[in-house]
Amino acid sequence: MAILKIARMGHPVLAGIAAPVADPTDPELKRLVADMIETMKDSDGAGLAAPQVHVPLRVVVFQVPGEPIDETLSAVERFDHTAPLTVLINPVIQVMEEVLEGGWEGCLSVPGLRGWVERPRHIRYTGFDIAGNRVSRTARGFHARVVQHECDHLDGMLYPLRMQDLSKLLFESEVHHWLEQQETQNQAVK
């Protein structure tokens, strides 16, 4: 396995449409996926798409740890908020709820920045794993956000292009200042 070089915003590979994978069980693809997983973990990322490592194929890997448990959620809904290490080949996303949820996003291809992005909060995704088995899951919250973010890479879309308000595109080192300012403004309104 190897740590792969991550393409940064502006590189042409990030602006193109990735090609479908003909055979999810191809040994070369298995090597790529192993390297992508190692690269994602080494970079402390939640996900990684093949175009980010200069390979224009419809492949993403991601892992979503558990969020603090909301006791009002059913067991199924709690499961929808997490994902084990997942390989998703030729993914398709279906929006289950049109309701949008905002959240801060970062990206290994846009290092040092965070942006506030609104995305559908409840989705279903399908695709194939590295053994060629069909994958179908529903996702909510951060899990849904990670899947949508990574799949955007397959269509040449980086998160800043999804942002409605570019005043919420911040350096990571400055996000805490922005949050403090928002808290102060919220307290002044009360």
Which residues are known catalytic residues? 150
Three-state SS for 153?
helix
Q: Residue 78 to residues 64, 71, 175, 181: CA-CA distances in angstroms?
A: 12, 9, 28, 32
- Distance between CA atoms of 107 and 34, rounded to whole angstroms? 20
Residue-wise burial string across 158-181, b where 16 or more C-beta atoms lie within 10 A, e elsewhere: bbeebbeeeeeebeeeebeebeee
Task: Report residue 37 as tokens.
Answer: 């997983």
Using the Cα atoms of residue 101, residue 8, residue 61 and residue 156 in order, give the sign of their dihedral: positive
